Structure 1
Amino acid sequence: MEEKEEILKVERSIGYILRIGVIVSAAIIVIGLVLLFLRPTAIQTPTSLSLIFQGLLQLRGEAFIMLGLFCLILTPVLRVVVSIFAFAKEKDYLYVVITVIVLIILIIGMSLGLVEK
């Protein structure tokens, strides 16, 4: 019984992570939309992290929207990381290996996306 309770606890925490990630992302995007509505600009949308952070300091709506999308993309990645620790705690090493491989594939895919631009 204790093992099932532990699994349910981990599943709930993963669910909270996903919900919080989506809510935070949506809030950041809404802030960006409000800023964009209040202060429309004709500048190019920031596509790198440095440009996004510069835009955040300047309160540019496009930068907030891009940060919200970036957070939304990172939410499932965070879920994979938490799953690695959950499987390790359960001593399910086959799933730890599989999940680490999935994380490596995600990191490689995001890295290639940064290089391709």
Structure 2
Amino acid sequence: MDKQKTTKAQEMHAVEMMIGYILRIGVIVSAIVIIIGMLLMLIQGNGGYANGMEPHTVADILAGIVALKPYAVIMLGLFLLILTPTLRVAVSIYAFAVEKDHLYVWITTIVLIILIVASVIGYLGN
């Protein structure tokens, strides 16, 4: 019985460490992408778009990233920063499932659905 508890505790510790890594890596990668966008802006002297003509769709942002437009690169960094805690919520569902805490699995799943729906509504609202 103690061996089973130890194994479960080790697995939960591993999941908590993974969540910490996700948050750290997400923030670091998004900061690097934003800094790259800012450096591009300094080098090019502008954001890559005419005033009032910023990209508003994912396709426009991706096209701007391919073209190395600074504003699009900065927007990618901000998107990654927003995505980081959402990914943490998704990993938490797994963590609660490992603990067999079904109530929190459902609650966290509902939170993830709300985050996704709010993101889609925000995107479509543009």
TM-score by length of 1: 0.93
**1:50–1:42 Cα change, 3 Å:** closer
Between Structure 1 and Structure 2, whose CA radius of gyration is higher?
Answer: 2
1: distance between equivalents of 2:39 and 2:79? 18
Deviations 1:3-47 (Å, cap 9, x if unpaired)?
Answer: 222222111110000000000000000000011111123423222
Equivalent residue for 1:8, pick from 13, 34, 52: 13
* RMSD of aligned alpha carbons: 1.2
Task: Give unpaired runs (5+ residues) of structure 2.
Answer: 1-5
2: distance between equivalents of 1:56 and 1:115? 21
Residues matched between the structures, number: 117
1:90 aligned to 2:99?
A: yes
Equivalent residue for 2:77, pick from 39, 46, 68: 68
Partner of 2:3: none
Residue 57 (structure 1) shift? 1.2
* 8 Å Cα contact 1:28-1:65 kept in structure 2: yes
**Structure 1 vs Structure 2: percent identity of aligned residues?**
52
Task: Give unpaired runs (5+ residues) of structure 1.
Answer: none
1:77 aligned to 2:77?
A: no
Equivalent residue for 2:40, pick from 24, 35, 38: 35
1:56 aligned to 2:61?
A: no
Question: Structure 1 segments of 4 or more deviating over 3 A?
Answer: none
* 8 Å Cα contact 1:52-1:63 kept in structure 2: yes
1: distance between equivalents of 2:13 and 2:42? 43
